[in-house]
Amino acid sequence: HDREIRVLHEEQVMLRAELERVLQLMTTVLLPREKTLHDMLAKLNEAYERATAHLHESSSDLGKQAFFMGQSPGGSMLPVMFDPMQDCEAELVRIRELLSHPLASPESMRRQRRAAFEGAALGGFGGGNVG
């Protein structure tokens, strides 16, 4: 039983270290790069809209009317592009919150397991295997 607790604790330490490494990577590399890409995509979209508007203006009066009535192609894309960014930032905040909790010690894991075992024995669960 003690070996199982030690293995669980070592696994928890390893997983926390990996999660901290991923959080650092996402915060310093991935998120800034994604923001830059989204900015570039927004600028490209704006340039496309300007080019499309110019084409419509020079080809027909109908294109001018559609543009001035607010029916520019792709006008609603900008808010959609930033939702995944906000989701990513919220997930990073959630991971930071998770990592802010103290690491469970092997002794506290033993006490918790012993209490669960005693509760199951007192609760009369019919002699099922624990762990």
Q: Which amino acid is at 76?
A: S
What is the reported pLDDT for 46?
92
Please answer whether residues 129 and 49 qualify as being in contact, where contact means their C-beta atoms are separated by less than 8 angstroms: no
List pLDDT tens digits, range 51-73: 888 777 676 665 555 555 555 45
What is the reported pLDDT for 124?
55
Q: Count the helices and strands in the chain (H runs, E runs).
A: 5, 0
In angstroms, what is the C-alpha Rg of the chain?
28
List pLDDT tens digits, range 114-125: 888 787 776 655
What is the reported pLDDT for 18?
94
Give me the mean pLDDT over the 104-111 stretch: 81
How many angstroms separate the Cα of 3 from the Cα of each of 103, 110, 114?
Answer: 18, 11, 15
**């012993």: which residue's tokens?**
114
Look up residue 65 and give its two tokens. 């009317």
What is the reported pLDDT for 67?
53
> pLDDT grade, residue 78 (50/70/90)?
very low
What is the reported pLDDT for 131?
42
Convert 59-108 into a string of H (helix), E (strand) and C (coil).
HCHHHHHHHHCCCCCCCCHHHHHHHHHHHHHHHHHHHHHHHHCCCCCHHH
* Whole-angstrom distance, CA of residue 77 vs CA of residue 107: 53
> pLDDT grade, residue 130 (50/70/90)?
very low
* Whole-angstrom distance, CA of residue 61 vs CA of residue 72: 14
**């998120």: which residue's tokens?**
31
What is the reported pLDDT for 28?
92
